[in-house]
Chain A
Amino acid sequence: MSDLDAFREEARSWLNDHFPSGLAHRSPPGIAGFGARLTGDWKAWQTSLGEKGWSAPTWPAEYGGGGLSPEQAQVLGAEMASRGAISPIGGFGIMMWGPTLLDFGTEEQKQRYLPPIIRGDIHWCQGYSEPGAGSDLANLQSFAEDKGDHFILNGSKVWTSGALEADWMYGVFRTDRNNKYEGISFLTLDMKSPGVEVKPITLISGQSPFNEVFFTDVVIPKENLIGEKNLGWNIGKRLLLHERQGIAGSGGANVVGGSYDIEQVARDYIGLENGVLADGAMRERIAMQKMFAHAYALTGRRFGEEAAVHGPTPAVGIMKVAWAKDNQNREELLVEMLGNRGLGWEGSGFSDNELKTVRTWLRSKANSIEGGTTEINLNLVAKRVLGLKGY
């Protein structure tokens, strides 16, 4: 038996013992590490998975991670997928903050921050964007003044997802006003610190998943500085690369938590004639959408395999662009197929799925804005991957 087969056996028997079978093929009601406090079987599953470190399979075991090789992690992923076991632990911590800490954190910082991320105990939010600093992120102005053993932070962040529920924030802050790029530091802060105020913003979907965050004389201890003072820009950028890599590696998984099955909607709302969708034009568009999604998933898997060997590459910028396109196209098709049933807002005149589809469709419009806009990602690919000048 090869080592990998032996690991497969180990993973199987561990999952047999620890994955509550009642959760098979079910999505968690929320994500631990992103606002949710789970209960019952979901809490039990979160605890087992977190203690085993398999919510972060490839992170080193010394910080509570799974310590698995990329190949083992793939086997684990396949075993979990085959029995419909979905990890309820996620959020910014797992996807990008943890990997960035592994790259840049001190031993002490890794020991402090990583274990609770892996267990899903701490919900992190990302303080990057500001009113005057969106695509041009380095134009950020929130200022952390150096007071010797601590910083005093004043200013504001905007579009901060999950800030209302978050325990902690990591982010980029100005520490030198005379130097655009080499005047930025990467800091963490406790959201319960005095002087932090969070105001929700309502989206076109009617949801309020993101916020404005105001800082008034917030005290940040020096030990919360990641890397060196004024050299946080590279750390901030690396984190964004991990974000895109995370999206790429998700291999077509619908991160937004999309609506229901596109074929089923086609059957229910358009209907078949002789076993073929009655609307031929729509049928071709569905085919194109599904083929794009399939190609996206195959590319995500391929990039994931390559990244496991070579590390993250700027080429994943296209995955961010593709992810947005895929989600947005699918949601557009779904709403269009629902016809006037896809225009409900609330109330008993529409089914839950219909109402959810409308909200998800509207939410998906953010996909080409959040995490770097499509235009900015194309700029990055043009510059970093293709070597074009002027970007």
Chain B
Amino acid sequence: MAVLTEEQNMLKDQAQAWSRDEAPVTRFRKMRDSGTDAGYEQATWQDIAGMGWTGILIPEALGGSGMDYATFGVVLEETGRHLVASPLFASGLVGASALLLAGNDAQKQQWLPGIAAGTSIVTLAVDEGPHHAPEQIAMTADASSGSFTLNGSKVFVLEGGSADAFVVAARTSGTAGETDGITLFLVPADTSGLGVQPLKTADSRGYADLTFRDVKVDAAAVIGTADAGFPILDAVLDRARAGLAAEMLGTACEAFDRTLEYLKTREQFGQVIGSFQSLGHRAATLFMDMEFARSCVEAALRAIDEGSDEVPILCSLAKCKAGEFLHDMSNDMIQMHGGIGMTDEFDAGFYIKRARAAEATFGGQSYHRRRYISHFGI
């Protein structure tokens, strides 16, 4: 693991101790069993905001601590280990990134202090179909006399049911498939004509589908420049992918650690099952995948912080490699536990459900393979 700064080490220790002691998987289980639509517990969320993690990226003048993405990654890795569910990622990282990258002063003043305090939740609404496809945005935003009218739908919006505002990518010109003509809007959740439909998903986190029927916003709602929103969206998505990859890495590392522990304790045929070479070799191979995923995640976060032009390629790499490892690890967590792995009482089910949802969010492995290779002119 990369050498951490003193600040990062402190946050890591804090996130490790809090997640382990205050927000273990049993707490996530309780939240699921309570049947809430929100996908997180209010008390968990307040704890997180109280520790200031929601403001990691936000400048001190706006109520945050002005740290970087690598630091955010350190925290998300720890919360990912214990499947902590909260709007920390969707709002504190993704929503905040959109505003930090392209919001004007008024938008920043209005929303960032609330995001930092955890009192406002701002999330990104991008996809419209079953697969991540930001280039395929069809939702329309018609301009007339200084305002815009939004029509269309967005699906599977993370923390969509609890959000106070959405960063919405819509088309002000062109047709689906083109990257020109996209504009980002900041749309408060209570705007008239906007319908929010919470979803019950396998991973028990909070998602919602959104419908826009003649939703009117004025020009001040535009983030960045009209028609030229795609590069901003792309940059926000890359930050989201790298951050989510860090969380996924944490989830997979915990699945690995728990499985390895089982290989050392469960006995069959008079010996611990880890002494069977077919399991030992798989564990060693998974260890390799884990180390590789970590290198990619750390490199992507660092590239963002350094403003490197390798950000797109490294973020696709990180999301894909973390996704591959989490995918395989969540499968093997069940397989190597045998029958116990299949029971709801054991946590493996939570890990595999979280895994598949996170894999699909902001582009799965095959999406990022295509995006990666397109950089090489083939």
Contact = CB atoms under 8 A, between A and B. Distances in A.
Contact of A263 (B283, B317, B378): B378
Q: How large is the interface on B (under 10, 10 to 19, 20 to 34, 35 or more residues)?
A: 35 or more
Contact of A386 (B272, B277, B283, B298): B283
Interface string A284-322: 101110111011101101100100010000010110011
Given A287-B372, A288-B369, A295-B296, A388 B264 contact: yes
A296 B291 CA distance: 9
B280 A378 contact: yes
A385 B288 CA distance: 11
A137 interface: no
A262 to B, nearest CB: 9
Classify the secondary structure of B's interface with A: helix
A322 B284 contact: no
B372 A291 contact: yes
Contacts of A266: 378
Classify the secondary structure of A's interface with B: helix
A388 B376 contact: no
Interface string A219-242: 000000000000000000000000
B321 A295 contact: yes
Given A318-B287, A381-B287, A386-B260, A272 B378 contact: yes
Interface string B201-227: 000000000000000000000000000
Contact of B295 (A287, A290, A295): A295
A283 B280 contact: no
B248 interface: no
Contacts of B263: 388
A290 B287 CA distance: 20
A302 B264 contact: no
Contacts, number: 118
B373 to A, nearest CB: 4
Q: How large is the interface on A (under 10, 10 to 19, 20 to 34, 35 or more residues)?
A: 35 or more
Interface string A355-391: 0000000000000000000010011011001111111
A379 B188 CA distance: 57
Contact of B284 (A272, A290, A294, A381): A381
Contacts of B373: 283-284, 286-287, 290
Contact of B376 (A263, A379, A385): A263
A299 B280 contact: no
A389 B378 contact: no
Contacts of B277: 379, 391
B10 to A, nearest CB: 21
Nearest to A300: B295
B26 interface: no
Contact of B317 (A283, A295, A388, A390): A295
B288 A318 contact: yes
Contacts of B370: 283-284, 287
B285 interface: yes
Interface centre among A287, A305, A385 (most CB of B within 10 A): A287
A287 B264 contact: no
Contacts of B299: 298
Interface of B: 2-3, 260, 263-264, 271-272, 274-277, 280-281, 283-285, 287-288, 291-296, 298-299, 317, 320-321, 366, 369-370, 372-374, 376-378
13 contacts: A276-B374, A283-B373, A288-B369, A291-B321, A291-B369, A294-B296, A295-B296, A298-B296, A299-B295, A317-B284, A318-B284, A378-B281, A388-B280
Q: Give the 4 A-B CB pairs with smallest separation, nearest first.
A: A390-B275, A287-B373, A382-B280, A318-B288
